[in-house]
Structure 1
Amino acid sequence: MKIVKEALAGTLESSDLLVKVAPSPTDTLEVMVQSEVIRQFGEQINKVVRETLEKMGVTAGQILVDDKGALDCAIRARLQAAVLRGADCNKIEWSRLS
Structure 2
Amino acid sequence: MKVGIAGTLESNDCIITVLESDKLIIEVKSVVYDFFGKHIESFIKNILDELKIKNIKVICEDKGALDYTIKARLITAIKRLEEQK
TM-score by length of 2: 0.90
Bigger radius of gyration among the two = 1
Q: Post-superposition shift, 1:75? A: 0.6
Q: Report if the CA contact (8 A) 1:15-1:68 is conserved.
A: yes
Q: Post-superposition shift, 1:5? A: 2.1
Q: Report if the CA contact (8 A) 1:5-1:88 is conserved.
A: no
User: Aligned-residue CA RMSD in angstroms?
Assistant: 1.5
Task: Choose from 43, 49, 71 the match for 2:44.
Answer: 49
Q: Distance in 1 between matches of 2:80 and 2:71?
A: 14
Partner in structure 2 of residue 13 of structure 1: 10
Identity of aligned residues (%): 37
Runs of 4+ with deviation above 6 angstroms: none
Q: Report if the CA contact (8 A) 1:16-1:70 is conserved.
A: yes
Unaligned stretches of 5+ residues in structure 1:
90-98
Partner in structure 2 of residue 83 of structure 1: 78
Q: Deviations over 1:29-58 (max 9, x none)?
A: 111111000001112211211111111111
TM-score by length of 1: 0.79
Amino acid at match of 2:83: D
Between 1:72-81 and 1:55-64, the stretch displaced more is: 55-64
Partner in structure 2 of residue 40 of structure 1: 35
Partner in structure 1 of residue 61 of structure 2: 66
Query: When you count strand as a share of all residues, which structure comes out higher?
Result: 2
